[in-house]
């Protein structure tokens, strides 16, 4: 419970409106806080796609606001890479795993417009659109089984709720001395699927 409270406080610190004099946005923190708040797990392909969609949404708004293409591309790269961005009244710094880019605003209006384009709703909206797969294994406890989605191992919990990338999805749950529990299907954006495994 204390851990969840700490994550919520951490999230609030990063998703507050850009009205402050200086604001830092960590995209890794935004995704983690969003998932923790909902008790969900965002699998890596969905996480990558959400970041890409957020970067594309930002780019469209930034170009409309008159931001030059170089700055737009660097900020979009930081978003795609789950990096972080610091916006201040005099300029912006974008950081990602392999680089950093700093520039000054052309005017105050640009600062307001780009700050709005960086608000976390873009990343939240992207994640909300992904299909949700709920895996229920019985009996539990113990959680002594492995869960894979599309061949990639994910965290196993008593009731796992996973956000996945739309398309063909394969869920496999394995438990020692039991036959595998397997589900295959095609999920569209916004779909929900429950997989029941009695192992």
Give the residue-averaged pLDDT of 115-121: 87
- Please say if the pLDDT value at position 2 is more than 50: no
Structure tokens at 178: 């039991």
pLDDT bucket at 158, cuts 50 / 70 / 90? confident
Confidence of residue 7 (pLDDT cuts 50, 70, 90): very low
pLDDT attached to residue 171 = 98
122 has pLDDT over 50 = yes
- Write down the pLDDT at residue 36: 93
State residue 115's pLDDT score: 87
Look up tokens 């869920």; give the residue: 171
Q: Give CA 46 to chain center in angstroms.
A: 7
What's the CA gap between 89 and 105, in Å, rounded?
8
Q: Please give the structure tokens belonging to residue 153.
A: 């191992």
Q: Are 91 and 104 in contact (CB under 8 A)?
A: yes
Q: Which pLDDT band holds residue 18 (cuts at 50, 70, 90)? A: very low
The pLDDT tens digits of the residues spanning 134-145 come to 999 999 989 999
Would you tell me the crossing angle of helices 108-117 and 44-64 to the nearest 10 degrees? 160
Span 24-33, pLDDT tens digits: 889 989 999 9
pLDDT tens digits along 58-116: 999 999 999 999 999 999 999 999 999 999 999 999 999 999 999 999 888 888 889 88
Which residues sit opposite 23 in a β-bridge? 87
Instruction: Judge whether residue 22 has pLDDT over 90.
Output: no
pTM: 0.82
């Amino acid at each position: 419970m204390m851990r969840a409270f700490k994550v919520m406080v951490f999230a609030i610190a990063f998703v507050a409106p850009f009205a402050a004099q200086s604001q830092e946005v960590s995209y890794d923190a935004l995704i983690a806080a969003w998932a923790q708040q909902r008790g969900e797990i965002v699998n890596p392909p969905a996480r990558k796609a959400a970041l890409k969609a957020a970067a594309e949404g930002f780019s469209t708004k930034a170009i409309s606001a008159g931001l030059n293409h170089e700055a737009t591309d660097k900020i979009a790269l930081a978003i795609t890479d789950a990096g972080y961005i610091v916006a201040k009244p005099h300029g912006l710094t974008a950081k990602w795993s392999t680089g950093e880019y700093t520039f000054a605003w052309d005017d105050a209006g640009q600062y307001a417009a780009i700050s709005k384009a960086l608000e976390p709703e873009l990343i939240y909206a992207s994640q909300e659109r992904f299909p949700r797969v709920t895996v229920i294994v019985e009996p539990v406890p113990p959680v002594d089984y492995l869960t894979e989605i599309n061949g990639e191992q994910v965290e196993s919990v008593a009731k796992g709720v996973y956000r996945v990338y739309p398309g063909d999805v394969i869920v496999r749950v394995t438990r020692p001395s039991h036959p595998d529990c397997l589900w295959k299907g095609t999920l569209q954006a916004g779909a929900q699927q429950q997989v029941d495994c009695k192992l």
